[in-house]
Amino acid sequence: MSLASHVVLSLWALAVVLPLVWTLFSSLKDSRSINVSPFALPDVLHWDNYVRAWNSIGVARYLLNTLVVVGSALVLVMILGAMSAYVLARFTFRGNAFVYYLILLGNTFPIFLAVVPLFFVLKNANLLGTYQGLILVYVAYAYPFTVFFLHSFFKTLPQEIYEAAQVDGAGDWRTFFQVMLPMAKPGLASVAIFNFLGLWNQYLLPTVLNPNKDKYVLSQGLYSMASQQGYNVDYGGLFAAVIITIAPVLIMYVIFQRQLQGGVSAGTMK
């Protein structure tokens, strides 16, 4: 059984790593080499592909837009999701379970069914093609999963610590931000990474709800540039742009890898 698991995991690792390695090598080749011998190693390292991707293709502008939208949405959804999960997990009131399961229904709703109503809502609110509109949609998109993930963490926190904070004179806000929230750091780190990955790679929502070219995010910008080039595609520059796009995700995962593993393990324990 152990041998079979190792074989399956090895094949899965190769399926993930090999495309990344191929993309990295392709980003250092010119378009002719990619067309003639796509799987060969680069004869000459074309570092100018990254300069061209950053300047000509416009990755710098798309990256800035993505950081603004994803960063703002991530901060908002973490604050709102943590507060909601804490209240639903630690306080008993009429309708608690109903509200919790109502929020969880958001995880089951297909996002492509909501894009048309969202389009008209943002249009009527004059938020279509703006940072604010896309940030609000991203927050709504990630909110149900954030509440679901953090609910179990706050549920398992010792009641004695909450009671001790109340005895010391701490109010509900101070108890949450200074006592309970720091104790849920593993869960916060884990759900933050999951949300970051999901929002960073989001394509459908910005494509429909963000027609403003000046505020294109990375997924929109790269697809737009590739389609505009027609038959004269700068493959080297596009591959370099892809590497620049996935680099922040890889860096964040490497930095918070232990927190992610610990947070998922803690969230499954009762």
Domains of the chain: 49-267 (1.10.3720.10)
Reading the chain (270 residues) residue by residue, the pLDDT tens digits are 578 888 888 899 899 889 989 999 999 998 888 888 888 888 888 898 898 888 877 788 999 999 999 999 999 999 999 999 999 998 888 889 999 999 998 888 888 888 989 999 999 999 998 999 999 999 999 999 999 999 988 888 888 888 888 888 878 888 888 888 888 888 888 899 889 989 998 889 999 999 888 889 988 888 777 666 666 778 888 889 889 888 888 887 777 776 665 554 454 444
Which pTM was predicted? 0.85
Rg (CA), the chain: 22
Do residues 222 and 242 lie in contact, with contact meaning Cβ atoms separated by under 8 Å? yes
